[in-house]
Structure 1
Amino acid sequence: MSIIWLPRSSRVRAIKSNHTECVLFDLDGTFADTAQDLHYALNLQLERHGREPVSFQRLRPSVSHGSRAMLQVGFGIDPEHADFSALQKEFLDLYLQNIALQTQPFEGMLELLDDLESQAIRWGIVTNKPARLTDPLMQRLGLQQRASAIISGDTTAYAKPHPEPILQACRESDASPERTLYIGDAQRDIEAGRNAGTRTLIAMFGYLGDTDKPETWQADGQIDHPVQILDWL
């Protein structure tokens, strides 16, 4: 397995090997492969409204951008549309009812967590997903009690790319931002990590689309598999 090395951000000072205190993950498309259950929920909703289903390939790149992006794919509407709020609530309710039918941590993630814990390195989740979805999902995965912090999109007054959610996770994990590594698959993830002063990695196995340009996001590096995170500790 190869690692793509990119220039380190001038905002983050170099950290000696094995001095990482905490590893934080975005949830959808980085920590867990949630796309199939979200796809299922959206197509259930489309069927209710007499619309044609969308393909998994079409929806997958939108998953990391949240319900707004997925409703745009399914219904062709944006938040200014009169029906948006009702459709968003219906979609999220359907997803909650089917939240862990097929969702699992990405291949290699559980082994990575075992390795981190064996080194006394804390780990946590920082997502823009609302807590009413994040918490039951982590419970269903059996991982909620192992995480040092689980920060949802409504845990603080801000969501990513604002740095506060990551800073809150660092506080709860008793870790300094400069000794924390944040991994995500969307530009706002990398911006949030950089704004918070952490090192950042792009999860290239996540839900990136054809229009994404991760080489411009100024992350510290890119990974193709969770196990490659070990090379950045």
Structure 2
Amino acid sequence: MKPEAILFDLDGTLVDTAPDFFAVVNGLRKEQGKAELADETIRQQVSNGGAALTRLTFDYPDQAGRDLANAPQVFIDHRQQILDRYLDNIGNLSGYFPGFDAVLPELQKHGIRWGIVTNKPRLYTEVLLNKLHIHCDVVVCPDDVAKSKPDPEPLLKAADLLGLNAQQCWYVGDHIRDIQAGQAAQMFTLAASFGYIEAGDSAENWQADAIIDTPEALLQQLTANK
């Protein structure tokens, strides 16, 4: 059925934020005397958050920092260094994925509200949205809940803030955790195959209700679900 609201993940789904990280990661690697990384290598890790980018930037082993509560202080310091550098560059090169600037007004024309549910902390989310002049009906960040995605709590909170049942909402994301959260919340889930998908993975692996290859395909999905 036609949704009352569509909720989006932020990085890698609604907004292409990776370009802001290219200079951050390679700038810090240059300062260490390390070789620069290809933009695509960095892009694939953006949706995995600050810890993943820390491993990439400082050549930590794969398991480093996966439990931040018990991570060594040097890892925590390096992660904060990346976040501080990112805050200085946030929004400089970011923007909607091509197509959303036309798709979002169409949603509003059809009476469909839209919002953002992200694992990006509110500090960085608000600075980014203000920089890009993005305004929506609801924004839920990890600061607002006890558990982040893949737990359904953030999605359920967004639906509640909109005064809706979760089943009245769709959720769009570019990572398996987004689809898992949406399914646990009993929302219709859409995998954004144009997002930050790691090498060796595929949106087809996530068992979403639908896959969209472009933002415009979201409107086609709405037509199919009337």
Identify whether the pair has TM-score above 0.5, normalized to the shorter chain: yes
| Aligned residue pair count | 214
Q: Aligned equivalents of 2:35 and 2:58: distance in 1?
A: 10
* One-letter amino acid of the counterpart of residue 136, structure 1: V
Q: Aligned equivalents of 1:166 and 1:152: distance in 2?
A: 10
Asked whether the equivalents of residues 28 and 57 of structure 2 are also in contact (C-alpha less than 8 Å), the reply is no
Q: 1:226 aligns to what SS in structure 2?
A: coil
Asked whether the equivalents of residues 21 and 176 of structure 1 are also in contact (C-alpha less than 8 Å), the reply is no
Q: Aligned equivalents of 1:107 and 1:213: distance in 2?
A: 21
The yes-or-no answer on 1:86 pairing with 2:77 is yes
What is the Cα deviation at residue 51 of structure 1?
2.8
Number of the residue aligned with 1:126? 117
Number of the residue aligned with 2:174? 185
Q: Aligned equivalents of 2:146 and 2:182: distance in 1?
A: 17
* One-letter amino acid of the counterpart of residue 127, structure 1: T
Deviations 1:71-115 (A, max 9, x none): 111212221344110011110011011001110000010111100
Q: Aligned equivalents of 1:141 and 1:57: distance in 2?
A: 23
Asked whether the equivalents of residues 151 and 168 of structure 1 are also in contact (C-alpha less than 8 Å), the reply is yes
* One-letter amino acid of the counterpart of residue 143, structure 1: I
Number of the residue aligned with 1:3? none
Q: Aligned equivalents of 1:39 and 1:222: distance in 2?
A: 27
1:164-179 equivalence runs, <5 A: 164-179=153-168
Q: Aligned equivalents of 1:125 and 1:197: distance in 2?
A: 17
Q: Which has the higher relative contact order, 1 or 2, with Cα contacts under 8 A spaced 6 or more apart?
A: 1
Asked whether the equivalents of residues 125 and 150 of structure 1 are also in contact (C-alpha less than 8 Å), the reply is yes
> C-alpha root-mean-square deviation of aligned residues, in Å?
1.3
Further displaced range: 36-45 or 48-57: 48-57
Further displaced range: 61-70 or 181-190: 61-70
Number of the residue aligned with 1:208? 197
Further displaced range: 215-224 or 91-100: 215-224
Q: 1:73 aligns to what SS in structure 2?
A: helix
**What stretches of structure 1 move > 4 A for 4+ residues in a row?**
none
Q: Aligned equivalents of 2:36 and 2:14: distance in 1?
A: 27
Q: Aligned equivalents of 2:30 and 2:147: distance in 1?
A: 34
Number of the residue aligned with 1:196? 185
Gaps of 5+ in 2: 66-70
- Compute the TM-score of the two structures, normalised by the length of structure 2: 0.90
Gaps of 5+ in 1: 1-14
Number of the residue aligned with 2:68? none
Q: Aligned equivalents of 2:181 and 2:92: distance in 1?
A: 30
- Compute the TM-score of the two structures, normalised by the length of structure 1: 0.88
Richer in helix (by share): 2
Fraction of identical pairs, as percent: 37
